[in-house]
Copies of this chain bind each other. A is one copy, B any other.
Amino acid sequence: MPEITIDQFEQLMESELPFAQTMGLKVDHISEDLVQMRAVYNKDFLRPGGTVSGPVMMGLADAAMFLAVMAKIGPVSLAVTTQLSINFLRKPEPGDVFAVARLLKLGKRLAVGDVAIYSASHSSDEMVAHVTATYSIPPR
């Protein structure tokens, strides 16, 4: 069983992550091993070339990793990102983008995971971006 529910995480985003609302972030699915979130498209996402801007995908990935950590250890809002690396692979056309995140390691002090980002405008075997991220976890 995941240690946080969709309602709990969406309330936490509402009260504590203002950018999540600007970006229209929603939770699609939570399990202990895999979570999926979505950025609901709006025209502020665009950048030159008619594609979704990088910061939207980075914000979505960061939130999805945060959720993946909480799915394992419960709502610990003081976990913080220490490192995030993103490769932009394909230009998503205007539309929702979604992120599938999983942890590669959950240690005492650090959690490391990766996030696959897809677009409603591409077939499901074509990632539009790939992220790895590290979270620092407060002592439990």
Give A residues with C-beta under 8 Å from B. 16-19, 22-23, 43-49, 53-56, 58-59, 62, 77-78, 80-91, 104-105, 109-110, 112, 114, 127, 130, 132, 134, 136
Once the chains are docked, how many angstroms separate the CA of A59 from the CA of B84? Answer: 13
Q: Give the secondary structure class of A's interface.
A: mixed
In the complex, are the beta carbons of B105 and A90 less than 8 A apart?
yes
Q: Which residues of B contact A89 (CB under 8 A)?
A: 104-105, 112
Report yes or no: A84 in contact with B18, Cβ–Cβ below 8 A.
no
Q: What is the chain B residue whose CB lies nearest that of A58?
A: B58
12 additional A-B residue pairs with CB within 8 Å, beyond A83-B85, A84-B86: A16-B48, A18-B43, A22-B44, A48-B77, A48-B78, A54-B81, A55-B62, A59-B59, A83-B86, A90-B105, A105-B127, A112-B130
**Which chain B residue has the least Cβ–Cβ distance from A46?**
B18
Which 9 residue pairs across A and B have the least CB separation, nearest first? Answer: A55-B59, A85-B85, A18-B44, A48-B77, A89-B105, A58-B58, A16-B48, A87-B112, A19-B55
